[in-house]
């Protein structure tokens, strides 16, 4: 009882971390909303920059970028700002008439839950929690919860990165930020409370960090007597198929996995639907997504430094000896990480294996 009450005090029902059922949207048409999302993002970035310019503070570009991310995705908890569990942009996306989504307005959230892989209801620390809607950006279907990961956890990544970069390499500083997030997914924001460890959440986190870094790296914001947005941010640069939990698969606690497997095989028909043309075409388009990193196998998309590192960690974590593995050395060279840094990541991140939660496994 004490543990449950502690969780509820940390996360009141109005700001619960969300979950989504991407399978619910299979075969459903959702209009792409990237233009609307971009308008929202850029207007709010411009507002943050205007406020900073009015204060006439002497700040570096990186400090300004951190303030922008804080304004977009952080909430002030006691003593300090932390990444928000439900950002304003997520709440807006779930209600705005400008955003097409599933379930649509003709379907209640209770009906959605009843026909989801989390049927009959998702609970967080015993409290009923509504599932998040599915939206579309540039052909990628993802839950609105990913917006808060993109902005709120993106803020956390960037703040940690700026601190770590003072003594570590850029790549190891990124890895340290990812470690923080893996502990969140493995703890109160993930598997220990709702029984879900979402790798898609981790990718949205990382892409938020990439956007924060790009604000200065790609000169989106500049200073000429006041900070201004020199060219707009485009969300399509950061959304990718690994935001979709029906593609970049989550792992589950034993009890959650049992219920999900039953729902997928029985009354929700996910396992039967995976052979449909719509699903096959979506998956094929996802696998052809352009990326700077090579795929680990034919069924994966390494859309970022984060997915690449997490895939390697899963593959090598349980091998007794891998330090002389020539393939691993080549992978780490691509990531610009040392073997010592990789060992540290494996020891700290403790990432669960996705392999046992593939569609083939869940539908067997």
CA atoms within 13 A on the CB side of 143: 26
Alpha-helical (H) ranges within the chain are: 2-10, 34-55, 61-73, 88-93, 109-114, 145-148, 154-164, 170-185, 199-217, 254-265, 270-273, 277-287, 305-316, 326-335, 339-349, 359-362
In this prediction, residue 25 carries a pLDDT of: 96
| Three-state secondary structure string covering 60-109 | CHHHHHHHHHHHHHEEEECCEEEECCCCHHHHHHCCCCCCCCECCCCCCH
User: Are 150 and 204 in contact, with CB atoms under 8 Å apart?
Assistant: yes
Tell me the whole-structure pTM to 2 decimals: 0.93
- Rounded Cα–Cα distance for residues 182 and 194 (Å): 15
CA atoms within 13 A on the CB side of 99: 26
Below-70 pLDDT ranges, the chain: 1-17, 56, 125, 267-268
In this prediction, residue 296 carries a pLDDT of: 85
The DSSP symbol for 237 reads: G
Closest CA to 360 of 271, 277, 283: 271
In this prediction, residue 210 carries a pLDDT of: 98
- Rounded Cα–Cα distance for residues 271 and 263 (Å): 9
- Rounded Cα–Cα distance for residues 158 and 177 (Å): 8
Token pair, residue 340, equals: 């010592």
User: Are 142 and 198 in contact, with CB atoms under 8 Å apart?
Assistant: no
In this prediction, residue 268 carries a pLDDT of: 67
Token pair, residue 335, equals: 């990531």
In this prediction, residue 259 carries a pLDDT of: 94
In this prediction, residue 77 carries a pLDDT of: 80
Dihedral of alpha carbons 100, 104, 105, 109, sign = negative
- Rounded Cα–Cα distance for residues 69 and 156 (Å): 9
Dihedral of alpha carbons 272, 275, 278, 279, sign = positive
- Rounded Cα–Cα distance for residues 158 and 174 (Å): 9
User: Are 283 and 247 in contact, with CB atoms under 8 Å apart?
Assistant: yes
**Other CB atoms within 10 A of residue 346 CB:** 19
């Amino acid at each position: 009882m004490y543990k449950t009450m502690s969780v509820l005090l940390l996360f009141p029902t109005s700001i619960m971390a969300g979950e989504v059922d991407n399978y619910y949207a299979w075969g459903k048409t959702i209009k792409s909303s990237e233009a609307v999302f971009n308008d929202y993002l850029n207007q709010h970035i411009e507002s943050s920059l205007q406020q900073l310019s009015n204060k006439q503070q002497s700040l570096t570009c990186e400090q300004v970028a951190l303030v922008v991310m804080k304004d977009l995705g952080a909430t002030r908890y006691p003593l300090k700002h932390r990444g928000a569990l439900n950002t304003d942009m997520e709440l807006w996306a779930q209600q705005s008439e400008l955003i097409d989504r599933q379930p649509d307005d003709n379907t209640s959230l209770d009906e959605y839950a009843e026909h989801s892989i989390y049927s009959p209801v998702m609970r967080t620390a015993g409290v009923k929690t509504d599932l998040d809607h599915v939206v579309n950006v540039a052909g990628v279907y993802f839950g609105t919860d990913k917006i808060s990961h993109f902005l709120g956890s993106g803020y956390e990544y960037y703040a940690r990165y700026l601190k770590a970069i003072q003594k570590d390499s850029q790549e190891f500083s990124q890895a340290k930020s990812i470690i923080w997030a893996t502990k969140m997914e493995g703890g109160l924001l993930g598997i220990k409370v709702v029984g879900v460890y979402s790798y898609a959440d981790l990718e949205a986190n990382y892409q938020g960090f990439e956007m924060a870094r790009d604000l200065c790296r790609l000169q989106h914001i500049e200073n000429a007597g006041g900070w201004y947005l020199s060219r707009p941010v485009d969300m399509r640069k950061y959304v990718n198929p690994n935001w979709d939990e029906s593609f970049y698969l989550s792992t589950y606690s034993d009890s959650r996995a049992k219920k999900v497997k039953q729902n997928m095989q029985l009354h929700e028909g996910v396992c039967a639907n995976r052979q449909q043309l719509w699903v096959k075409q979506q998956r094929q388009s996802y696998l052809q997504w352009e990326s700077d990193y090579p795929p680990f196998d034919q069924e994966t998309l390494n859309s970022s430094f984060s997915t690449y590192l997490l895939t390697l960690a899963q593959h090598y974590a349980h091998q007794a000896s891998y330090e002389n593995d020539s393939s691993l050395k080549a992978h780490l060279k691509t990531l610009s990480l040392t073997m010592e840094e990789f060992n540290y990541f494996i020891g700290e991140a403790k990432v669960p294996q996705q392999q046992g939660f593939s569609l083939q496994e869940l539908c067997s």
